[in-house]
Structure 1
Amino acid sequence: MAQFHHLGLGGLVLIAAIIRLLLIGRRPKNYPPGPPTIPVLGNLHQMPTRDAHLQFEKWAREYGPVYSLMLGTKVMIVLSSDTAVKELLDKRSGIYSDRLDMYVGQTLCSGGLRLLMMGYTPRWRAFRKMVHSLLNITTSKSYVQYQVLENKQMLYQFLEQPQDFLKHIRRYSNALTTTMVFGWRTPVYEDENMMQLFDGFAEFAEINQTGAAGLIDFYPILRGLPDILLPTRKKAKQLHSVEKQLYLKHWLSSKKAIRDGTIRPCFCQGMAESQKAGGFSDDQAAYISGTLLEAGSDTTSSTLYAFVLAMLLYPEAQKIAQEEIDRVVGERLPTMEDQEELPFVRACMKETLRWMPTTILGAVPHAVTKDDEYLGYTIPKGAGVMNNVWAIHMDPVRHPQPRQYRPERYLHDTLSLYDSAANSDGTKRDVFTFGAGRRICPGMHVAERSLFLGISRILWAFSISPAVDENGKRIIPDQEKLTQGFVCMPEDYPAALTPRSGTRANIIRKEWEEAQRDHLDEQTMQWKT
């Protein structure tokens, strides 16, 4: 009898376990709608491996501005309208600023140190406050001289090697960022530190996009498997060790320069003060400065690369912008002071951020710290919350003919990117590329200046037109072909950049010669101290 009793009990436990397993991936009735699920996987099997932004936009048109995806044991709520992002990520930011447990991205690849993926903890808030104080609107103005100098080198390089314009754009945004963060510049594209940074970032994106990474993230039970069965884990750990060495090297050399009194004004000076007061580790400081370096290098260069593509594909917009610059600026380089007089050029900057958003699905999802309700749906505690930037930017009600590049949409928009994001009416916000709520990009002020200077001066100096192949036929790139990853940009394309006049070519040469003579050490090409 006891035997049967045990069998019955064991059978019941087994049945309960099977039922529990089959309930994984099911969408509860009160959750936002979404694509049909299957047991255990939920919607995981439907997650696209390429061009995810198109599938996420398609689901938004099908299931509405707030829909849910059941990803194994986790829930992802996708926000695809300006009002939903404003209401939840901004107005309810007190509970919408956490992060999912990102085992591969944060624990393995980053040793738990990456600010971008850190949970909404007192530690994160303290670091965030520090970063904000060192990158706010007032301090960001003190970096303008760095932006101006790097910009002059970029224009000079366009003149000398126009076919390598992507390399020059990348060097510009990387050198700006290293100078602002660490106080030293990247004088050449072939700089080994820069190569390692861009390669490492590409590898980070690749590891985090694999199916294996998703499985380990969404089914925590698999984390107990040995490394031999989880090659992704081994790769992630290797990447972390290489990346940490690079970031530590940069940070410790900045600390040494601070001690020697040879450092240029930069972010690390302020962080060294904060480290004395707050006592956080060198590893952590290295990752804070390293993550800023990643963010600043990648997004600015991707946006400028998209801008050159837009000028090539939409010559009418280029013509209007250049007429405005010629009328206002004439035969000198545009400066930040010209911004108010160049509304169409500013509009080009905003339209580029809208038309080709680099953080196409909002970079890293937020997470909600307690149960919430919106539009009658339950948003469960612990759910990931995604800012579906692409779908918002491509909403035909918000932006008619969204795949057309039309700067005039922003012609009467005089707000800075930051002020626009702070607008209490979500429908009036310009672009969603920089995130929202307490996780909004702290480098917005710096990015806006780098982009305006880059765009206005490229337009002042060069005509951008399609390159021609060996048969003399114009090469017209496909604007829909994008790279894959956290941060995306147009796939490689050729373009012809021609100086608009001999006079302007001479001005560029002269400006770069003077900048080198006045500010740079002849041997090292670093700033004179």
Structure 2
Amino acid sequence: MAVLTTYLPIIVAVAIVVRLLMTGRRPKNLPPGPPTLPIIGNLHQMPTRDAHLQFEKWAREYGPVYSLILGTKTMVILSSDQAVKDLMDKKSNMYSHRVDMYIGQKLCSGDLRILMMPYGATWRMCRKLVHTLLNVSAAKSYVPYQILENKQMLYELATKPDSFLHHIRRYSNALTTTMVFGWRTPTYEDEKMMQLFDGFSEFAEFNQTGLAALVDFFPFLRILPDFMNPAQKKARELHRKEKALYLSHWLKAKAETAAGTITRCFSEELVEAQKKEGFSDNQAAYITGTLLEAGSDTTSSTLYAFVQAMLLYPEVQRKAQEEIDRVIGSDRLPTMEDEYDLQYIRSIVKESLRWMPTTILGAVPHAVTQDDHYNGYFIPKNAGVVNNVWAIHMDPQRHPDPRRFEPDRYKDDFQSLGDAAANPDASKRDQFTFGAGRRICPGIHVAERSLFLGVSRILWGFNILPAKDERGEDIIPDQEKLTQGFVCMPEEYPAQITPRDEKRRQMIVDSWKAAEAECLDPVTHQWKASPLGASLGRTRTKA
């Protein structure tokens, strides 16, 4: 016993050292991947910028299913359409969980953000509620909101073209706030809209790099005080500001619902659901806030990418305008009824989503809830699983010359985005930007309509040409320069956006002025009356 007591500290120390040396190593039966170092695994190889390029390079080197060891965590990267179909879609009951994101979900989001929420009863409840707003039939009912915001965007492009990114962002944000809260964003200078875009951009970039990522990969770092781990302090501050924004939106909508003065929207349905389910105002704020994030950011980023593509590939713009002129003419604007007569425009929408995916690495990793095996590889319980969107979209076997913007890839694809995502043949899926399995973005149907209206009407009314520098030479943006974070877009660039002719310019101006006078209050610039009918509160009162 005395001998054991003497050597016990040595035995414990050796066990700790062995454990540390084993941390970071890749077990032999895991999918292959780059060589690891003890303790840190592959962390030293993780890029601080443009991670999508490294993830694509590894996919070409190690195959469509490979693994990364990130400190104490295992990450499995799916880089083929078939792997995503087989695991995230077909085994969605196992692959719909989330990795533990202490900084992103616990500190930045108070365990409330649906995007990062673990798979369980609370997530299923939230998802069910969101589905009532964004399913196919509901999405069709929001077209009047989309048409109005689209008309304002076209008017702003005609009168203040240099600020085209602002106009695109206002378009997507105003549509989303109307659908979710019942009020629209009439100007880009709206303080709360700018807070949303700036705050979510900071949140997305912060959670993918630096100390924030390290705290997730090495959980023991969470015990450090804030002065030694400033990422935790920053995360709490981000949550404080974000929660205040989302809660103010929700409580305003809740009060207007009670008064029967709200414009028809999702929040009035959520008020009734809250009475039945009993979830808190904080949770309701983040349900609606999640919708606000998704609807505002991804649609605007894709439209911004589309404009850049028209600059870089003028032959695509000419071909698209020829189709629009043949089908629509110059006497009216395209509508949703024209969608399936404008197949090249639909193809531009799909190609924009493929060529410049906003969720470039699938946004937030999934996680597997139990041990699994795939193609001879072991995938352990709780491993993160990444939908490597960029690598799939840039696979030359799937899309020859993948960095070229070529809408004719989709000339024979007449599927909606939702139908393509559900196609049992993985090779027939158009793109992977909206995710997969039970975590697929529920806004896919609304986004498809917003993008079609945006692309078709911009091309109907405008020519998109390069801006000039001080020497009169064309400024050509670099299509490889993207913003950072798990949601991205092209870095800002200038462009000349001019009406195709005076007749179209005047139609755009007249169309907006007529809609403004008919639909909007002249002081508040909010809807006089919802095109969807009276609010549920008023309906119940009358009943």
**What TM-score comes out, normalization by structure 2 length?**
0.96
Q: Which residue of 2 aligns with 1:114?
A: 113
Cα distance between partner residues in 2 of 1:297 and 1:222? 34
Question: 1:238-268 CA distances to partner (integer Å, 9 max, x unpaired)?
Answer: 1101111110100000011111111111111
Alignment of 1:72-111 (within 5 A): 72-111=71-110
Q: Which residue of 2 aligns with 1:382?
A: 382
Q: Would you say 1:514 and 2:514 are equivalent positions?
A: yes
Q: Which residue of 2 aligns with 1:270?
A: 269
Q: Which residue of 1 aligns with 2:136?
A: 137
Question: 1:433-454 CA distances to partner (integer Å, 9 max, x unpaired)?
Answer: 0000000000000000000000
Q: Would you say 1:57 and 2:67 are equivalent positions?
A: no
Cα distance between partner residues in 2 of 1:54 and 1:495? 27
Question: 1:160-206 CA distances to partner (integer Å, 9 max, x unpaired)?
Answer: 11111001001101101100110000000000010110111122123
Q: Which residue of 2 aligns with 1:186?
A: 185
Alignment of 1:300-339 (within 5 A): 300-330=299-329, 331-339=331-339
Amino acid of the structure 1 residue aligned with 2:165: L
Cα distance between partner residues in 1 of 2:201 and 2:319? 36
**Matched position secondary structure for 1:385:** strand
Question: 1:83-105 CA distances to partner (integer Å, 9 max, x unpaired)?
Answer: 00000000000100000110000
Q: Would you say 1:404 and 2:411 are equivalent positions?
A: no
Q: Is the 2:305–2:356 Cα contact (8 Å) retained in structure 1?
A: yes
Cα distance between partner residues in 1 of 2:38 and 2:93? 33
Q: Which residue of 1 aligns with 2:254?
A: 255
Which range is displaced more, 107-116 or 212-221?
212-221
Residue 486 of structure 1, CA deviation = 1.3
Cα distance between partner residues in 2 of 1:134 and 1:471? 51
Cα distance between partner residues in 1 of 2:25 and 2:181? 49
Q: Is the 2:206–2:485 Cα contact (8 Å) retained in structure 1?
A: no
**Matched position secondary structure for 2:97:** coil
Q: Which residue of 1 aligns with 2:424?
A: 424
Cα distance between partner residues in 2 of 1:348 and 1:487? 21
* Matched length: 528
Cα distance between partner residues in 1 of 2:344 and 2:425? 24
Cα distance between partner residues in 2 of 1:51 and 1:207? 14
Residue 276 of structure 1, CA deviation = 1.0
Q: Would you say 1:211 and 2:210 are equivalent positions?
A: yes
Cα distance between partner residues in 1 of 2:432 and 2:219? 32
Cα distance between partner residues in 2 of 1:5 and 1:251? 64
Amino acid of the structure 2 residue aligned with 1:466: P
Q: Would you say 1:440 and 2:440 are equivalent positions?
A: yes
Amino acid of the structure 1 residue aligned with 2:411: L
Amino acid of the structure 2 residue aligned with 1:427: S
Q: Which residue of 1 aligns with 2:538?
A: none
Q: Is the 2:98–2:119 Cα contact (8 Å) retained in structure 1?
A: yes
Cα distance between partner residues in 1 of 2:239 and 2:525? 31
Question: 1:503-522 CA distances to partner (integer Å, 9 max, x unpaired)?
Answer: 00000010000110110000
Percent sequence identity is 69
Q: Is the 2:479–2:490 Cα contact (8 Å) retained in structure 1?
A: yes
Cα distance between partner residues in 2 of 1:505 and 1:290? 36
**Matched position secondary structure for 2:246:** helix
Q: Which residue of 2 aligns with 1:69?
A: 68
Cα distance between partner residues in 1 of 2:57 and 2:226? 37
Unaligned runs of 5+ in 1: none
Amino acid of the structure 2 residue aligned with 1:129: K
Amino acid of the structure 1 residue aligned with 2:156: Q
**What TM-score comes out, normalization by structure 1 length?**
0.99
Residue 126 of structure 1, CA deviation = 1.4
Question: 1:397-431 CA distances to partner (integer Å, 9 max, x unpaired)?
Answer: 00000000000000111110000000011111000
Cα distance between partner residues in 1 of 2:207 and 2:142? 33
Residue 209 of structure 1, CA deviation = 2.4
Q: Would you say 1:464 and 2:464 are equivalent positions?
A: yes
Cα distance between partner residues in 2 of 1:207 and 1:430? 30
Residue 365 of structure 1, CA deviation = 0.5
Q: Which residue of 2 aligns with 1:523?
A: 523
CA RMSD in angstroms, aligned pairs only: 0.8
Which range is displaced more, 66-75 or 205-214?
205-214
Residue 288 of structure 1, CA deviation = 0.6
Residue 5 of structure 1, CA deviation = 2.8
Residue 210 of structure 1, CA deviation = 2.7
Residue 123 of structure 1, CA deviation = 1.3
Unaligned runs of 5+ in 2: 530-543
Residue 130 of structure 1, CA deviation = 1.3
Question: 1:31-83 CA distances to partner (integer Å, 9 max, x unpaired)?
Answer: 00000000000001111100000000000000000000000000000000000
Q: Which residue of 1 aligns with 2:285?
A: 286
Amino acid of the structure 2 residue aligned with 1:11: I
Amino acid of the structure 1 residue aligned with 2:83: A
Cα distance between partner residues in 1 of 2:524 and 2:246? 21
**Matched position secondary structure for 2:360:** coil
Cα distance between partner residues in 2 of 1:134 and 1:179? 12
Q: Which residue of 2 aligns with 1:358?
A: 358
Q: Which residue of 1 aligns with 2:298?
A: 299
Q: Which residue of 1 aligns with 2:500?
A: 500
Q: Which residue of 2 aligns with 1:171?
A: 170
Residue 336 of structure 1, CA deviation = 0.3
Q: Would you say 1:197 and 2:201 are equivalent positions?
A: no
Residue 333 of structure 1, CA deviation = 0.6
Cα distance between partner residues in 1 of 2:50 and 2:374? 29
Question: 1:446-476 CA distances to partner (integer Å, 9 max, x unpaired)?
Answer: 0000000000000000001111111111111
Q: Is the 2:35–2:42 Cα contact (8 Å) retained in structure 1?
A: yes
**Matched position secondary structure for 1:227:** coil
Amino acid of the structure 2 residue aligned with 1:333: L
Question: 1:334-379 CA distances to partner (integer Å, 9 max, x unpaired)?
Answer: 0000001000000000000000000000000000000000010000
Cα distance between partner residues in 1 of 2:201 and 2:389? 21
Cα distance between partner residues in 2 of 1:80 and 1:259? 49
Residue 332 of structure 1, CA deviation = 0.6
Residue 270 of structure 1, CA deviation = 1.3
Cα distance between partner residues in 2 of 1:93 and 1:35? 27
Residue 133 of structure 1, CA deviation = 1.9
Cα distance between partner residues in 1 of 2:196 and 2:387? 26
Residue 228 of structure 1, CA deviation = 1.3
